[in-house]
Every structure is written in structure tokens, then in C-alpha cells.
Amino acid sequence: MGTGRRPTLRQVADLAGVSHQTVSRYFRPNSGLLPETADRVKAAIDALGYRPNLAARAMRTRRSGMLAVLLPGWVGPERTVAAACEEARSSGYRVEIVIDLDEGPVSLSVRVEDLLASGQIEGVLSISPMDPAISSLPGVVVQVDQYDHRLRAVDAVADDQATMVEVVRKLSELGHRDLLHIAGPQDWPSARLRLAGYLEACERFGLRSHGEPSGHWHPETGRQAIEALLDETPVTAVVAASDHIGVGVLGAAHRRGWAVPGRLSVTGWDDLLLARYSAPALSTVAVDRETAGRHAMRRLIAAVEGRPEPETPTAPLTRIEFRESTAPPENNGA
């Protein structure tokens, strides 16, 4: 150690007590290694910090070993991306991060098509939804939070509609009867499902909705919606489709002199780190983005390597966290 030289495959083999051919097999799909042998090889790889020589593998197999993760131009889901990249690298793949400043599904679909047509990328993981009208692309593509055309989950995704019903139910139990939903872009399935859950809950619990304006996943969307409310609005709770939108709501409410949670209660979605430290701390839906990111990357790698899809995680991916920005309305019980 300390030579600065990259660990070799033979060093891994020596440490694991196996042949170098066995270590090579470890990096192949369906290696056929006994579990205890695979565990020894993995322990040696981790101890030495070994990474396969992808350039040599590409020459030998005519594969690039390169995957791409496509992000929209807005501030992206860092935890999802970090988990997906870690999963790819642990499986011997390099990852290229591509940011498309136009977050529309059609633009993203064209960008994915260009990436795959280049011949340098074996598969693409898209953090954003793509145009559903584009049914075939020249390569392997997996989307995070993927739904079919009937909005049924086909991946490890949060149950957005049912979770939103629970968020509104909790607000109802606090005494709120007049609500506003600030929705995300409606070309995103998750935004449409959250809106559907909100409307379902309002009908189920006998609540009054005073609008469902929509816009980008950006604080400006929240700011504009709050500034459009009349001074005498009966709205006592704002249900934002994301923490970014929710932070915009908090800022606009402050500028109007509306106390949160006194005059307005506010909820978001995503459990962004900064939203926990806002004043007041934003109530939200915490989403297990790490599990979703790892599972999506496993699906992509399995498709690239021609293996069956991995089993979908069964544990719930959402948890409702009511914090300082929600309370009973000021006139509750009046």
C-alpha cells in the first residue's frame, strides 16, 4: 500500500484465496459462483478498493460498461441519484450524469435517444418521466418512479395517491375544512397522482378545495399561488406537491404577514434537508429515495445484461412527517 498503484485482479484473487479466473467470473452476470466464494471475492474487492478495468473489458467484450443517469434542469433528487450511482459502480459500471435544462418529457425522450444512438452508452436511467407516446428507443431505458398508462406502479415507487389521502386526512383531523392544493407539472405521473389523492380526500372527508393551481417543481410556483389568494380567503391549509413548492409558500405567506401555522398550515413532499431547517420546519412526506434509486439501477443493469428483473421492494417508501408548519386553524372550534 502507499505505492499509488491501482490494485490488480490477481491481488484480489490472492487475498480471496481463489484463482484470477474466479474473480473474473464474479463480474459476469450469472457467474455461477457458490455464495461463500462470491462473499470472499467481494470482501477482497472491498478491502483492496479494486475496480475492474472497464477499458480492457470493453475491448474484450465490445461493451462500453457505461450507463447514463438523466436529470432534469431543476434541483434534482440527490439521494436517488447517489444511491443509483453507488449501485452501478459496485457492479463494475461507470456512470455519466447528463442534465437536460428542458425538463419536458418530449425533450428528455429525444435526449435519451441521442445518448443511446451514440453507441457509448449501454443503458439510461431517467429520473424524469419521458414522453409516453415514444414506445421504443434504440437501447435499454429505465425510469425512476415508473407507472404504466393507467398510473399503476410498475417499479419501486411511493403510493402517491394513497399517501396524499392520508396527508389530507391528518389536516382534516386537525380541524381544517378549506384547503388549497398547489400541484406539480401535470406531465409528471407523480404530480397527477398527488392531485388525484387530494381531490379524493376532499370528497371523502367533506372538505372544500379552493383551487388546484399547478406549475414547475419550483418555489416560484408556491409563491405565485399564495400571492393570488384574496386577503379574505377562507383557506387555512395549503397542500404543496413538493417541498420546493412548499418553501415558496412559506416565503409568500411571510411576506403577506400570514403566520404559519397560525393563519395557514402548510405541507410539502420529499423531506428535503433544507426544508427541515426552514422556519417553521416544513411538514412533509418523507420518501425512501435511496431504495427507489438502487432498485431502478438494478433493473437497468439486469436489462443491460439480459437477466430477469430483480424483485420489487415490499417495504413502504413513504412516511408522513407533520412538523412545525401544521397546527389546528386559528378559528378551530370558534
Nearby residues of 222 by Cβ (< 8 Å), 6 or more positions away: 182, 238, 240, 244, 245, 246, 247, 248, 249, 250, 251, 252
> Could you tell me if 29 and 305 are in contact, meaning their C-beta atoms sit under 8 angstroms apart?
yes
Residues 267 and 310 in one domain: no
231 phi and psi, to 5 degrees?
Answer: -60, -35
pLDDT at 130: 67
Q: Is residue 320 part of a domain?
A: no
Which residues share a beta bridge with 182? 240
pLDDT at 74: 54
Q: Is residue 241 part of a domain?
A: yes
Q: Is a pLDDT exceeding 70 seen at residue 38?
A: yes
Confidence (pTM)? 0.69
- Of 154-168, 195-209, 212-226, minimum mean pLDDT range: 154-168
Residues 96 and 209 in one domain: no
Residues 209 and 171 in one domain: yes
pLDDT at 134: 54
Residues 40 and 80 in one domain: no
For a pLDDT cut of 90, what percent of the chain falls above it? 37
- Of 93-107, 113-127, 179-193, minimum mean pLDDT range: 93-107
Residues 254 and 196 in one domain: yes
Residues 111 and 256 in one domain: no
CATH of the domain at 177: 3.40.50.2300
Residues 256 and 177 in one domain: yes
Q: Is residue 323 part of a domain?
A: no
Number of domains in the chain: 3
Angle between helices 189-204 and 160-174 (to 10 degrees): 40
- Of 112-121, 167-176, 287-296, minimum mean pLDDT range: 112-121
pLDDT at 174: 97
pLDDT at 189: 83
2 vs 332, higher pLDDT: 332
Nearby residues of 131 by Cβ (< 8 Å), 6 or more positions away: 105, 106, 108, 109
> Could you tell me if 240 and 213 are in contact, meaning their C-beta atoms sit under 8 angstroms apart?
no
pLDDT at 55: 45
pLDDT at 136: 56
Q: Is residue 332 part of a domain?
A: no
Strand, helix or coil for residue 144: coil
For a pLDDT cut of 70, what percent of the chain falls above it? 79
Q: Is a pLDDT exceeding 70 seen at residue 242?
A: yes
Judged on CB neighbours under 10 Å (0-12, 13-18, 19+), 308 is exposed
User: What range does the domain containing 15 cover?
Assistant: 9-51
pLDDT at 237: 98
Residues 24 and 122 in one domain: no
Residues 202 and 145 in one domain: no
Q: What is the pLDDT of residues 102-129, one digit of tens each?
A: 556 677 777 777 777 766 788 888 877 6
Q: What size, in residues, is the chain? A: 334
Residues 262 and 165 in one domain: yes
Q: Is residue 225 part of a domain?
A: yes
Nearby residues of 234 by Cβ (< 8 Å), 6 or more positions away: 178, 208, 210
Q: Is residue 328 part of a domain?
A: no
Residues 280 and 293 in one domain: no
Q: Is residue 325 part of a domain?
A: no
Q: Is residue 326 part of a domain?
A: no
Q: What is the pLDDT of residues 273-291, one digit of tens each?
A: 888 999 899 999 998 888 8
Strand, helix or coil for residue 163: helix
Residues 197 and 133 in one domain: no
Q: How far is CA 106 from CA 110, 122, 128, 193, 261, in A?
A: 6, 21, 11, 20, 39
Which residues share a beta bridge with 200? none
